[in-house]
Amino acid sequence: RRRRSSASWKNSAGGIGVFHQIREVFFRPSLNNTSDESCGRTDLDTLKRVLYEYRFVKDAGRIKNNTITCSAMWGVIPAFRLAGEGRLTKNNVRLWSAASSYFPGAIKIDVSAKENSFVVTSPTAFAPFESPPAELNAFIVSRDGKTIMRTFGDFQQGNILSSASARVCSEKYDICVSSNIQANVFKASKPTLFLFVALTGCSLGLLAFYAAHQYRRVRNSLSHRLKYAIRNGLISTAYQPIVHGKTGKVSGFEVLARWHDKKFGSVPPNVFIQKAEALGLQEKLSKLIVNRALEECSRGLACHPGVYLSFNIETKDLLDGGLIRHISDTARSHGVSASQIAIEILEGATAEISQVEQKIESIRASGYKVLIDDFGSGYSSLSYLAGLNVDIIKIDKSFSKAAGTDSPAAVVLQKIHEIAKALNAKIIFEGVETEAQKKAILDFCPDALVQGWLFSKALPISELTEKVRSQRARGEAMNFADE
């Protein structure tokens, strides 16, 4: 692949810069629209000003029918006719390259003429390029390549490994610059090129380091690690017992998700569940938890037919139906009956009350238990409870903790119990942590179901299995009254 050398760009900038100044000269209103006498004193002053302002212009003057009549440097001169017709560009500028000169003692000049004005290019216009390095050559030509206006260096035909070429054409002027440089970077005699290669290598190395750093940063982000954990089944399950408050006998277990990451440690469920929802992975996470819970507990559920597993489901998943079907299919494959599955629906969403009611009726008809989760934490209303035919109402822990106090929440707690009793629904009091709370609850609700650290925290399957095994060895039923 050919690479453009920096030298070729410099040549094109210099060459086009000359023609840009010439174009400016020809478009000066004072030069082409003068009312003064041609070659008169005022006109010559105008021409001299051109020399003063444009460093690439050696001389300027008047021309008619290819015949020069005066110039800023020499004033009125004997009529001097340029040989030939020159070359007419697309900008209507006529060019004579290496023409015979009217300068005393001069040999050849480059002349550009338009209408009744002409300029002579300064010999220093291309001075920076008159002695290019031996490996560089360039030439300025017309766009069609028929007229060569300037050459620099000796042209040498190279190959793809030992040279680099470039061609640049002006969009405004009939001019192109072509250049070629012998650029064999493998020659030890070119320390600058070696330095360039070294700097390029360092730059690429830094870029690679930055890319690697960004890659590690992304890999170490919570989002990336959560995606990896869900994809590879690294989310674990824990089970918190739901017990009869008086006896401690187990009624069921709420299935909870847990994630311990090597980098972030134990990530709170509310954090990674919200993150999974933001990443569009909530359904995959939910199915992973369902699969793991039914696989881990199917044998224990078979031994305790009166115990159920309770899964949390968002209202949108309830309405969609996909997750419910997955629970049903997975439970069937593990031999778990529908009566041992409970669906906990978050109470907060009430906008689709009629649709929710239909879904609940369908689920209950299939044999599943239906719970309203965290009642009191969302937008509760009597019409909400009355419209949904549920088996159990779970009261939010903020109310359960108020049991036995004089706070308004304690009064509300008793009223919720009365409403649930009227609807023939059982109640689970969440977040019970003290004996005083349990006693206060049992005083007004003797058959209360309780869930909280007073009886047990959420246990991994290994601890739960060991506890049940030890109780069975003692001939006891599964019970958490001693926790």
Q: What is the pLDDT of residues 336-367, one digit of tens each?
A: 999 999 999 875 554 567 788 889 899 999 99
Residue 54 and residue 142 in contact, taking contact as beta carbons nearer than 8 Å: no
Scan for tokens 């299995």, then name that residue.
465
User: What is the reported pLDDT for 21?
Assistant: 66
Token pair, residue 294, equals 């039914």
Residue 381: C-alpha distances to residues 187, 347, 348, 349, 389 (Å): 86, 10, 11, 12, 14
Determine which of 24-33, 212-221, 353-362, 449-458 has the lowest per-residue pLDDT on average: 212-221
Residue 465 and residue 304 in contact, taking contact as beta carbons nearer than 8 Å: no
Whether pLDDT at 282 is above 80: yes
> How far is 62 from 83, CA to CA, in rounded Å?
16
User: What is the reported pLDDT for 445?
Assistant: 92
User: What is the reported pLDDT for 12?
Assistant: 40
Q: Given CA atoms 201, 205, 206, 207 in this order, what sign does their dihedral have? A: positive
Give the tens place of pLDDT for each residue, 107-137: 788 888 988 899 988 766 666 555 666 667 7
> How far is 303 from 66, CA to CA, in rounded Å?
115
CB burial of 297-322 (b: ≥16 within 10 Å; e: otherwise) equals bbebbeeeeebbbbbbbbbebbeeee
Instruction: Count CA within 13 A, CB hemisphere, residue 288.
Output: 23
**What integer is the mean pLDDT of 44-68?**
86
Q: What single-letter amino acid sits at 381?
A: S
Question: Nearest to residue 468, comparing CAs of 342, 272, 297?
Answer: 297
Give the tens place of pLDDT for each residue, 292-331: 999 999 999 988 999 999 999 988 888 888 999 999 999 9
Angle at CA of residue 433, ends 428 and 439, nearest 5°: 70
Q: What single-letter amino acid sits at 309?
A: L
Q: Per mean pLDDT, which of 152-166, 174-188, 433-447 is the most reliable?
A: 433-447
User: What is the reported pLDDT for 151?
Assistant: 74
Question: Nearest to residue 254, comparing CAs of 310, 295, 201?
Answer: 310
Element spanning 32, H or E:
helix 29-32
Q: Per mean pLDDT, which of 138-147, 269-278, 412-421 is the most reliable?
A: 269-278
**What integer is the mean pLDDT of 414-435?**
88
Residue 229 and residue 261 in contact, taking contact as beta carbons nearer than 8 Å: yes
Look up residue 411 and give its DSSP letter.
H
Residue 86: C-alpha distances to residues 68, 96, 125, 153 (Å): 14, 5, 21, 25
Classify 481 as helix, strand or coil.
coil
188 or 413: which leads in pLDDT: 413
Residue 116 and residue 47 in contact, taking contact as beta carbons nearer than 8 Å: no
- Secondary-structure percent of the chain, ordered helix, strand, coil, rounded to 5: 40, 25, 35
Element spanning 283, H or E:
helix 282-303
Question: Nearest to residue 71, comparing CAs of 113, 30, 11?
Answer: 113
First to last CA, the chain: 77
Give me the residues paired with residue 87 across strands: 95
Residues in the chain: 483
Whether pLDDT at 371 is above 70: yes
Q: What is the dihedral of CA 166, 169, 175, 179, to 10 degrees?
A: -10
> How far is 354 from 350, CA to CA, in rounded Å?
9
Look at domain 222-473 and name its CATH class: alpha beta
Whether pLDDT at 466 is above 70: yes
Classify 359 as helix, strand or coil.
helix
| Burial (CB count <10 Å: 0-12, 13-18, 19+), residue 423 | middle
Residue 445: C-alpha distances to residues 350, 386, 389, 426, 440 (Å): 27, 20, 21, 10, 9
Q: Taking the domains of the chain in order of start, what are their residue ranges? A: 6-182, 185-219, 222-473
Classify 308 as helix, strand or coil.
strand
